[in-house]
Amino acid sequence: MAILEILEFPDPRLRTQAKPVAVVDDKLRQLIDDMFETMYDAPGVGLAATQINVHQRLVVIDVSEDKSQPLVFINPEITVLDDELNEYDEGCLSVPGFYETVTRPKRIQVNALDRNGEPFTLEPDGLLAVCIQHELDHLNGKLFVDYVSPVKRDRIRKKLEKQHRSQA
Half-sphere exposure of 152 (CA within 13 A, CB side): 12
Please report, in range form, the residues annotated as the binding site for Fe cation.
92, 134, 138
1-9 mean pLDDT: 93
23-27's contacts with Cβ under 8 Å and 24+ in sequence apart are 24/74, 24/113, 24/115, 24/116, 24/117
Q: Using one digit for the tens of pLDDT, what is the confidence trace for 67-79?
A: 999 999 999 999 9
Q: Using one digit for the tens of pLDDT, what is the confidence trace for 101-153?
A: 999 999 999 999 999 999 999 999 889 999 999 999 999 999 999 999 999 99
Contact 88, 102 (CB under 8 A): yes
The pLDDT score that the predictor gives to residue 7 is 97
The pLDDT score that the predictor gives to residue 82 is 87
Half-sphere exposure of 113 (CA within 13 A, CB side): 17
Under the banding of pLDDT at 50, 70 and 90, the label for residue 3 is very high
87: nearest Cα among 45, 133, 42: 133
Could you list the active site residues? 135
0.85 cut: is pTM over it? Answer: yes
Residues shown for the chain:
168
